[in-house]
Structure 1
Amino acid sequence: MECLFCAVAAGEVEAPTVYADDQVVAFLDHRPLFHGHVLVIPRRHVPTLTDLRPEEVGPYFERVRRMTAAVERGMAAKGSFVATNSRVSQSVPHLHVHVVPRNPKDGLRGFFWPRTRYASPEEAAETAARIRQALEHD
């Protein structure tokens, strides 16, 4: 299956582009949470954040940082929401970071999924230990 975002990066599919260089393309989301909602994608096909090469991480997120500042300034927003999905809820299997302008009382509340709590401090410690152990195998 052809990748929609690769087609956008190649100029084969039209999208309202706000920035492009040899590494990334940033364009308006076609179903924005708020006007000014931008997607920042790497030009190279990268399915998820964990597929991004280590040497690409810094340059990619520098562009995400710049786009975040531009969205806030350009949309006269008081802040922003910056997020990415990996596989679950990822509508296009090509890495993309959402940069969404935010303002107080804009109607967006917290995250889009239910929040939970750990049953105990021990459960939280066990969860943290599992993640630390996984880092050792990175």
Structure 2
Amino acid sequence: MDCLFCKIVDGEIPADILYQDDRVTVFRDINPQAPFHALVIPKRHIPTINDIADEDCELVGYMLKVAGDIAKEQGFSETGYRTVFNCNTHGGQTVYHIHLHLLGGKPMGWPPYQDTLKTPV
């Protein structure tokens, strides 16, 4: 399989790994959008959130739990943080292996992408 994130999980591509266990890998995003920006990915390849099967629901919940644990460890769980799943092209997904963005360390505005409001849908 030619998946960037699968190669990170397999150790074929280096990454700044913050946490890893038998279900997930967490590493720093190479293009950070906040003072702290990491990705929580399942070790099992699931292309998009549209591909999450019933048997994956516990894994996806676990990804959120790990994100909360990392936020606490990094010291911004009380002040707040953002978690984001992007899905497909219009959702901003560029790597087709589900991944949860964990962003923290600064106040987050809403909507997150002001410039997209000017683009007709």
Q: Does the alignment reach a TM-score above 0.5?
A: yes
The structure that has the greater radius of gyration is 1
Percent identity of paired positions between Structure 1 and Structure 2 = 31
Higher relative contact order (CA 8 A, sep 6+): 2
**Runs of at least 4 residues of structure 1 off by over 3 A?**
none
Residue 51 of structure 1, CA deviation: 1.1
Cα offset for 1:54? Answer: 1.4
TM score, norm. by length of structure 2 = 0.80
Unaligned residue ranges in structure 2 (runs of 5+): none
Contact 1:83 1:97 in 2 (8 A): yes
The TM-score with structure 1 as length reference comes to 0.71
Deviations 1:14-59 (A, max 9, x none): 1011111121111110011123211011111111012122122223
**Structural RMSD (CA):** 1.9
CA displacement at 1:101 relative to structure 2:
0.8
Inter-partner Cα distance in structure 2 for 1:98 and 1:82 = 5
In structure 1, stretches of 5+ residues that fail to align are: 116-138
Partner of 2:69: 69
Q: How many Å separate the matches in 1 of 2:4 and 2:14?
A: 10
8 A contact 1:68–1:80 mirrored in 2: no
Deviation at 1:102, TM superposition (A): 4.5
Instruction: Give the alignment of 1:69-88 within 5 angstroms.
Output: 69-71=69-71, 73-77=72-76, 78-88=79-89
